[in-house]
Every structure is written in C-alpha cells, then in structure tokens.
A = this chain, B = another copy of it.
Amino acid sequence: MSSAPAHEPAHEPATAELAVSTVIFALHAEPSSELPSLWLPLVRRTREPFEGQWALPGGWLPVDEELGKAAARTLNETTGLTPKYLEQLYTFGALDRSPGRRVVSVVYWALVQSDEAARAAEGENVRWFPADDLPELAFDHNLIVDYALWRLRTKLEYSRIAHAFLGETFTLAQLREVHEAVLQRPIDPANFRRTIEASKTVIATDEYLAGTPHRPPRLYRFDSTVHSANGDPADLGPLGRATPGKAS
C-alpha cells in the first residue's frame, strides 16, 4: 500500500473523500472538587448533516499537506491551540458514517498544556466538555472519543506522555496529579516517585517551587534525549526500536 498499489484494478481511483480530525485532551480543574479532570474542545457544526451538533475539529485533507500537519493546522484554526503531543489514532471509514457520501477520516489525538488550554478561545461555536460526559456528537465521534480516551489511558501506563500536559518544569506531585486525573485513581506518592525516578525520563533541577504553605518541592524537567518508543512508525528510525523483554 503505498502509493499506487501493486495491483491496479480497471476502475479509476476511488472517489471516497479524505478528512482529518483530532481528539484534543487537556486538564481542567473541576469547578466543584478542585481536582483536575480531562476535557476536550468541540466545534459546533454550522451545516448539514448534523447541523448544530458538536463534533471534533477537523477538515478535508489538502492534496499537498502531510496528514499530521493537516491535523495540527485544523486543530489550531478552530481552537487556537498548539499541541505538545500529536499522534495518529485510527482511520475510520465505515460506509454509513456520513449520510449520503463516503468519507474516510484519519483521526489524530493530541495533548495540550493545561495553562494554554485555559487561555484558549471559547465561543459560540467552540466549547470545552468533560471527556467522560459528552453530549451526543455528530457522526461516529462519540465512538472515536471513547477510543482515544482508552488509548490515552492505556498509553499513560507504559509510555511517558504525561509531561505533555505540563510546562517546562514541574514537581513530581504535579506529574502525579496528571496521572491521577487521567487514570481516575489515587496513586501512592512514595511509589510514584520511585517509579518515575527509575524510568529515567525525568531530570532533577536544583530549583524548588516557592510559595507553597509547606516544604518546597523540587522541580524536574523531562529528559528529551530518551527515545520515546512510541508506537509510531516514524520512531522506527535508523537505530531500530527498543523491544522490551519477554516472559517464557
């Protein structure tokens, strides 16, 4: 499958339309509980089908634009956000997902920094929703969000993507809060500290966060030199890929 397939059928190339959309996650502090939780921005459809309903930001794929670029651009045009993490999620192409036409959508998922999300434009046609309590969305977008949520939660457990929600430096308590918010489960601070330190993905700075009512916590930064081992074919660089050990 790359460009032209090995076998070219008699009929001309398919006329299915190609779109790109993105599921964007950020952490917002809950108004009530203080605890942060996952939110995502949606866009109101201004035409049929599904006019008036909420949908994922996206757009048609221009012939001369890379898939990931198109995702980042449409995301930015509609929400004003710039993602710190962006990865392909899945390609949805069921025949009945758009009434009357065949649309194949390459879907990405993105993480944005919390304070940037707070600055983000909200308006009549763009609004943030709690990821676990969405209205009925246009097309198959509820299914897509569910899948993206599952991917985020699964991936957080074995990969180190939590820093995409945070700034340059952060305390381990902040990092732990991200994990707790995404996984919706309290985490033992002592064990979390050791797990993160053992993972070598984080570097201690000699700075401490001031202004806390109690003992000032040390600030850390992420070690960008460690290879992500992401699951994206792009990671399959010249040096190959780290394969974890296996059981018998």
Contact = CB atoms under 8 A, between A and B. Distances in A.
Contact of A7 (B15, B66, B78): B78
B60 A2 contact: no
A187 B243 contact: no
Interface stretch (A115-123, A136-144, A165-173, A214-222): A136-144
Contacts of A61: 14, 16, 93, 104
A26 interface: no
A9 interface: yes
Given A7-B74, A91-B67, A14 B191 contact: no
Interface string A182-216: 01010110011001000000000000000000000
Contacts of A67: 91, 93, 104
A66 B74 CA distance: 26
A241 to B, nearest CB: 6
Contacts of A236: 143, 146-147, 150
A188 B107 CA distance: 41
A94 interface: yes
A98 interface: yes
Nearest to A194: B248
Interface of A: 1-9, 11-22, 42-47, 49, 55-67, 74, 77-78, 88, 90-95, 97-99, 101-107, 138-141, 143-144, 146-147, 150, 153-154, 157, 183, 185, 187-188, 191-192, 195, 231, 233, 236, 241, 243-244, 246-248
8 contacts: A2-B21, A2-B141, A3-B99, A5-B59, A9-B59, A13-B17, A14-B61, A185-B246
